[in-house]
Amino acid sequence: MVYLGLSEKHLQDAMTEVARHLLALGARLTYGGDLRAGGFSELLFELVQRHRRDVDEDSPVGITNFLAWPVHLRMPCADVDRATVELKGIAEIVCLDENGTRMSLLSRKQIREREPSAAEWNNGLTAMRRAVQAEIHARIVLGGRVENFKGSMPGIAEESLVSLESGAPLFVLGGFGGCARDVAETLGLADPWAPLNRAWPERSAFSKFGPDSLNNGLTVAENRILATTPHIDRAIILILKGLVGIDT
């Protein structure tokens, strides 16, 4: 992100603004993250709490937060239980098994906390991303690391690939750098920066898709703007236009 003149704070602000606008429109957000302090999940929970105060306590908006098998396997079960209780009415906390199937809290309590194997990270994260895809209307990606990641490939890349392979709507915000920018370049939505043509695992899998593969209600020209603009307000306008186009 440094080469764009942007910091981690810019990325966080962009993600927050996208989430805030979608929540204000009554959307339910689905996120595959963890529950660490200061993480993006925590920011989403705070946004929902604020929105509920501004609207009413019976508002159906909220979040489904999926915890992949290797993520919750290394967490004390008491922490999962506590989050489930504390976030009731704000977020649904869903634990998945290694195959991406929902687990009951009772089933989770029967499993001893431990460190996942490399295979469990690979299989569990892929299964979680496919489980998320089965429940969402559209996917929005931005940022994302391409080094020191868990799983078989960068998370944003695999999420994008799952959406493309299923023909589901995908919005790629590459103007904030990270893996989303790499995805945008590989799809032909943005000109590549030669010094940063990173060869992360499975990047070649995107070669069978192009700028017309996003199925998100936007034209190719609009998707190119979305994939390159560093202005979050402009990106949000395009996302909302695309979502309306999908529904019409």
- For 185-216, what is each residue's pLDDT tens digit? 999 999 987 555 678 999 999 999 999 999 99
Distance of alpha carbon 110 from alpha carbon 102, whole angstroms? 15
Please report the pLDDT score of residue 1 as a whole number. 45
Q: Residue 125, SS3?
A: helix
Distance of alpha carbon 194 from alpha carbon 229, whole angstroms? 19
Please report the pLDDT score of residue 142 as a whole number. 94
Beta strand 62-67 pairing with 28-32: parallel
Please report the pLDDT score of residue 9 as a whole number. 74
Q: Is 233 exposed, middle or buried (0-12, 13-18, 19+ CB in 10 A)?
A: exposed
Please identify every stretch of the chain with a pLDDT value under 70, giving residue numbers as ranges. Answer: 1-7, 52-61, 194-197, 247-248
Please report the pLDDT score of residue 222 as a whole number. 98
C-alpha separations of 87 from 40, 79, 226 in Å: 15, 12, 33
Q: Residue 91, SS3?
A: strand
Please report the pLDDT score of residue 17 as a whole number. 92
Q: Residues near 144 by Cβ (< 8 Å), separated by ≥ 6? A: 154, 155, 156, 157, 178, 179, 180
Instruction: State residue 123 phi and psi, 5-degree precision.
Output: -70, -40
Please, are residues 170 and 160 in contact by the beta-carbon 8 Å criterion? yes
Q: Is 115 exposed, middle or buried (0-12, 13-18, 19+ CB in 10 A)?
A: exposed
Q: Residue 209, SS3?
A: coil
Please, are residues 226 and 172 in contact by the beta-carbon 8 Å criterion? yes
Distance of alpha carbon 246 from alpha carbon 165, whole angstroms? 18
The DSSP secondary-structure symbol of 194 reads: G
Q: Residues near 210 by Cβ (< 8 Å), separated by ≥ 6? A: 187, 188
* Domain residue limits, the chain: 27-136, 137-248
Please report the pLDDT score of residue 26 as a whole number. 85
Please, are residues 170 and 184 in contact by the beta-carbon 8 Å criterion? no
